[in-house]
Structure formats: C-alpha cells, structure tokens
C-alpha cells in the first residue's frame, strides 16, 4: 500500500504541484472549532462562521457564558447551527471541567492514535475532524479522510472500505514520509475537480493510468483537449 500511495502522491504533485503548508502553527483548539464549523458546508461559509464567532469573543472562555441559542445564531451561516453550537459548547465545557483550562495542550506529547482517541471522545468530533487537528496544527504526518479521499482511494483500488473512518485507519501506517499534507490536499482537489461522485472526468484525470475503477467515464477526449484543460488549470 505504501508504494501505491507514494505513486499517487507523486502523480498528484506533478500535476497540481506541492500544496503550501502554513508556516505558522495554529492553535489546536482554533483548528478543532474551525473544523467543526466546516462539517457539511463549503470553505467560504465555514470561514465566515469562524470569523463571526471570533469577532464576538475575546477568548474561548466566553463560550461558557454564552447561551447556546446565541452561539447558534452567530455561526448559522455554516449550517447545522444547533448541532454545531451544541458540539462547540460541550467541547468547551468538557475541557474546562476535565483539564481545568480550555486548551488542547495535553495532546502535545500524545502519539497519533492516542490523540485521535482523546479528541473523538468529544461529542461532534469524528476521526476526520480529529485528524485535521493533527495535520494542520500539530504538524503530524497524517492524511485526513473525507468523502472525496474515501471515494478516490476505493475507486483506484488502494482500499476496499465502506466508510471514511475505516479508510483512514487502513492507510495511516503507510503515508509517505512527510507527505500527509500534500496527499490529503491534492486528493481533496482531485475529488472536487475530476473524481466526482457522478460522471467523473476519468479521461482527464492525472491518476487514470493507475486507477482500477470499473465504471470509468472515459468518453472521447483528444490529446489537445487534455492539454488545453491542463493549461487552463495552471492559469
């Protein structure tokens, strides 16, 4: 599996390039709450909800004094306002009661598996959300698996799993060295632009040559069309 993931990572970096990784290390709690807000919505709406929330508080401690209905109203642009408000409120309360402070610093010395275990104890925090905290804030070499990454790796034939969580655990030991970020980011982009849930653009896909998907949508694509698409994508 490691060789397969190395090949996928290489092909995607050759096509999309190497994604930029934020040199600043964000606070793990910021990333966790931002990722909760991103569930089942687009980046624009989740970022707007996060900005709205940060503009209303001086620290995460303020959430303790805030009514859940108020919190729901502030983050409503991200959708699922009641569910996300409850998740954030419960997270803050639990951190305060268990650790005495609202922080994820206790995870700094935990290995990846232990950190995932601890984070997923919080209601509303799944494996994908927890692994995003590890990748983007703790700089761990993990590859968060959402529906896009799950779909692609199953279509290619790297795994045969029936959920994103199972895909994450199947590949976690085989992520190419220090390439968790590029693999995750480029697979996500591939899933949005080529490997679509319906009518995937298989004939244009940079992974078509190694993909074992039995229902490929190859159509009739000329070399010129492929080159034109490649050039437009780079503009």
Fold annotation for 28-136? Endonuclease III; domain 1 (1.10.340)
CATH number of 2-19+144-234: 1.10.1670.10
Which of 52-66, 128-142, 193-207, 216-230 bottoms out in mean pLDDT, i.e. has the lowest? 216-230
Rounded (10°) angle between helices 127-136 and 164-171: 50
* Cβ-count burial 53-69 (b if 16+ within 10 Å, e if not): beeeeeebeebeebeee
Rg, C-alpha atoms of the chain: 19
The mean per-residue pLDDT over the stretch 46-53 comes to 96
For 220, other C-beta atoms within 10 Å of its C-beta total 6
Would you list the domain boundaries of the chain? 2-19+144-234, 28-136
Q: Is the pLDDT of residue 233 over 50?
A: no
Q: pLDDT band at residue 46, thresholds of 50, 70 and 90?
A: very high
- Considering the candidates 84, 89, 128, 172, report the single residue annotated as catalytic: 128
The chain-wide mean pLDDT, for the chain, equals 91
Q: Is the pLDDT of residue 87 over 60?
A: yes
Q: What is the pLDDT of residue 124?
A: 86
The mean per-residue pLDDT over the stretch 215-219 comes to 87
Q: What is the pLDDT of residue 231?
A: 46
- Higher pLDDT: 130 or 218? It is 130
- Assigned token pair, 98: 């268990």
* Cα separation, 183 vs 176, whole angstroms: 9
Q: pLDDT band at residue 221, thresholds of 50, 70 and 90?
A: low
pTM as predicted: 0.85
The mean per-residue pLDDT over the stretch 38-54 comes to 94
Answer yes or no: 128 catalytic.
yes
């Amino acid at each position: 599996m490691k060789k397969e993931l190395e090949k996928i990572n290489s092909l995607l970096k050759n096509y999309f390039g190497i994604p930029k990784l934020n040199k600043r290390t964000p606070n793990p709690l910021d990333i966790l709450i931002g990722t909760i807000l991103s569930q089942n919505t687009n980046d624009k709406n989740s970022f707007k909800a996060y900005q709205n929330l940060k503009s209303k508080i001086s620290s995460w401690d303020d959430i303790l004094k805030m009514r859940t209905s108020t919190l729901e109203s502030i983050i409503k642009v991200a959708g699922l306002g009641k569910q996300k408000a409850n998740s954030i409120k419960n997270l803050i309360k639990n951190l305060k009661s268990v650790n005495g402070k609202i922080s994820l610093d206790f995870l700094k010395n935990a290995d990846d598996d232990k950190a995932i275990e601890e984070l997923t104890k919080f209601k509303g925090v799944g494996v994908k959300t927890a692994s995003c905290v590890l990748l983007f804030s703790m700089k761990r070499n993990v590859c968060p698996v959402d529906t896009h990454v799950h779909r692609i790796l199953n279509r290619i034939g790297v795994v045969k799993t029936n959920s994103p969580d199972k895909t994450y655990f199947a590949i976690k030991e085989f992520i190419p060295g220090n390439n968790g970020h590029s693999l995750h980011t480029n697979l996500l982009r591939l899933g949005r632009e080529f490997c679509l849930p319906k009518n995937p653009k298989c004939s244009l896909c940079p992974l078509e040559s190694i993909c074992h998907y039995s229902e490929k949508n190859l159509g009739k694509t000329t070399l010129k069309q492929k080159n034109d698409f490649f050039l437009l994508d780079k503009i």
